[in-house]
Amino acid sequence: MQTNLQKNIKRQAPNKKPKRLFSMNQKEEFQGYIFIAPWVIGFLIFTAGPLLFSLYGSFTNFNITSSLSFIGLDNYKRMFTNDGLMWTSLWNTLYYVAISVPLTTAGAVLLAVLLNQNVPGTRLFRTIYYLPAVLSGVGVYLLWMQLLSPSSGLVNTLLSWVGIEGPSWLSDPAWTKPALIFMKLWSLGGGMLLYLASLQGVSKSLYEAAEIDGANVFRKFFHITLPMITPIIFFDLVTSFIGGFQIFQEAYVMSDSGNGGPANSLLFYNLHMWNKAFEVFDMGYAMAMSWILFIIILVLTVINLKLAPRWVHYDGEDRK
Amino acid sequence: MKAATKSIKLLLSLILSLTLLLTACSSNGGQGADSDKNSEGKVVIDFWTFWGSEIRRPVIEKIIQDFNNSQDKIEVKHTYLPFGDIWTKNLASIAAGKPADVIINDINQVAHRAQNNQNTNLSKYMEKDPEVKDRFFPELYKASLYKGEPYALPFNTDTRMLFYNKDMFKEVGLDPNKPPATWEELEEYGKKLDIKNGKNYDRIGYLPNYKMGAEVWMINADGKSYWDYKKEKPIIDDPSNIEALTWFKDYYDYYGSNVINKFQAEFGEETADPFISGKLAMTTETTNFFTKIRDYGEDINFGIAPLPAKEPGKSQTSWGGGFVAEIPKGAEHPDEAWEFLKYLTDVQAQEHWAVKGFDNVANIEASKKAAENPEFSEDGKMVYTASVKNLEETIITPVPLQAPDFTNLINPELEKVLLGKQSPKEGLKKAQRAVEQLVKNNK
């Protein structure tokens, strides 16, 4: 507002210079818009447009070619009352999120603390643990399918050395989701890096003060380290919650022809939605599913945000 | 404030002019492709296939070239799209009103696509050329009808048969010229051919659920599996299906999923294929499997036979699939496309496809001619002749219009049966109820 005010004042002032088409400010403003135009146009055409269309589409029986008629809440009704697979897929997704998010977060923090110690070779270990986070996608999943192979896979071979007969990871419905979570734990490195950075930002003087007071390692960890990195933990939690609900690729690649694995044990919400949309082209229904997922994630994120002030500690903020 | 509105207005006009430019470009490009005639005055039609492999591509392109040379009115242009993209692209292009003129598509969903306005009714052309429909195996032609009218022409197909290793038969004292003819014999021979090694196996005679699931045995038993096409309702839990699944499951349990999983983990491709590497003595495969034996298992002394029947004297029905050629809805040159469809499914093109790709084709005469083709080896002739005969007893199971994705509901129940989490009867009953529900929803 201030700049606008300034502009208005300027304009009111007597001015005998030859009239230019644009004032300097206008020009700058215009250039600014030009600079953001590619993003704005892209956003409107490729994101906002489809988003709004999918909201409308979720109330229709859209199937790409033959129908786009308004059917009210039928898709939503069907989803909640008549589609058993929807509940299976929702349950699978919740199972995955509920177990993998806490595990990966705790694992990443632990790893970061270990790698923050001043021991020889730390840099090498940091690189090694971070490497898997660089690799991603289908290649990694195929690799893990071999590692998890029941008789010849490395995982079960290792287990057999200590006398455990490993399960048939990806073909026994009771073990498919644990196998997937196990695989996800392998790529903790991304989160670890964030924590490592924030650990290095924790002021040494806090530890010194605690040592003088006679605090041991655990007290220091729980009363200094952990509170100081809560903002990062919070950020990591929120993003992994969202990412967790969107799990799709892993199940699509690691189950036969993307059907959701043995006895639907890997049929995640997004996979079911994808099947509805691109296998049977029941687009309207799939759009409705995507909006329900959006609402679930939105609600969880809001809860997360509301709970945050109770445990997230920002530096320089007074504890109330 | 005024300044802001001014620049926003300017920006808007800029965006608008940009979009105008873009649309101008696209309509220009569109016109290029639309132009009815090429430089020689021929009508150009676009033909989409997913045949891009070293083996398939030259064969289909030779057929196209022959067609282009055979007349001077139409020129066919081949567009290859990967298997994973072609259906989605087809739908998007139909929705956009600029589809291909001819496309190769799945035979099991012809009626489903017809119902959803995705392909063109061919009956007006069929009236002009009524003899066309008689060239196909009746089961395949039937699968390309919707409400009794044709919406596609069958192109190629397949059928499942039993391949068995004659040397292994001799080795255990079985007659190599007498393959199993009933389920009982299959199991008896199979177990005789097993070679055990402690808890595990070095060789398994016949492995249930490898390459062919219980549903094919259900079809084999009475010619029907999950759907009654006349009454248009699911028959998943009918007694014959329960019997077939029970037999299948008992046979599967003889080895148990642990042993089978371990055994299967070592299966591979090419020379590591279990039949070729000698891990399996019998296997049920589509007859195109012969090309693998030909290329990677030269020394294998194998025989081929129809699937064993449930009981002596019962039918040896098999299950097949295949692809059709059709004209997407809204195609620009349907008349020219029809000419090409006719050519694609006529004897010359079909025989070429059959021989070069060792694939079963929809045209009966071409099938018979191909079986005699001098390009085939002795074994090739034997297998091809057997496959053509088998096609007469092969059934196609198009997806029901009322429940297009019903296998998504059935397969998990079957998997639970095999895992021992429920009895065959329970599993099929549950699947039946779920599919009935789905049918009700889709009404």
Tell me if chain B has a CB within 8 Å of the CB of A166: no
Give the CATH H-level superfamily of domain B160-228+238-319.
Periplasmic binding protein-like II (3.40.190.10)
Residue A319 scores a pLDDT above 80: no
- Distance between A182 CA and the closest CA of chain B, angstroms: 20
The correct answer on CATH 3.40.190.10 for the domain covering B43-158+321-396 is yes
Task: Supply the pLDDT for residue B27.
Answer: 44
- Token digits of residue B67: 């067609």
> Quick check: B419 contacting A, CB < 8 Å?
yes
Of B343, B376, B390, nearest to B135 by C-alpha is: B343
Closest residue in chain A to residue B410, using alpha carbons only = A263
Write the DSSP assignment of A178-227 as a string of letters.
HHHHHHHHTTTHHHHHHHHHHHHTS-HHHHHHHHHTT--HHHHIIIIIHH
pLDDT of B32 > 60? The answer is: no
Selected for mutation to probe chain B from A65, A148, A160, A267 (highest B CB count within 10 Å) is A65
> Average model confidence (pLDDT) for chain B?
90
Q: How far is A153 from chain B (nearest CA, A)?
A: 9
**Percent of chain A having pLDDT more than 90?**
41
What is the distance between the alpha carbons of residues A86 and A84, in angstroms, rounded to a whole number? 5
How far does Cα A144 stand from its chain's mean position? 21
Mean pLDDT value across chain A: 86
Query: Mind listing the pLDDT tens digit for each residue in B57-80?
Result: 999 999 999 999 999 999 999 999
- Return the higher-pLDDT residue of B20 and A22: A22
Domain borders along chain B are: 43-158+321-396, 160-228+238-319
Q: With an 8 Å Cβ cutoff, are A34 and B11 in contact?
A: yes
CB contact under 8 A, A150 and B261: yes
Q: What's the average model confidence in pLDDT over B411-430?
A: 92
Topology match between the domains B43-158+321-396 and B160-228+238-319: yes
Say if CB B170 and CB B180 are below 8 A apart. Answer: no
Structural domains of chain A sorted by starting position, each given as residue range(s) with its CATH number in brackets: 74-311 (1.10.3720.10)
Residue of chain B whose alpha carbon sits nearest to that of A265: B412
Residues A297, A245: contact at Cβ < 8 Å? yes
What does the alpha-carbon distance between residue A47 and residue A36 come to, in Å, rounded to a whole number? 15
- Min mean pLDDT across A22-26, A122-126, B104-108 is at A22-26
- Predicted pLDDT of residue A248: 92
ipTM of the complex model = 0.72
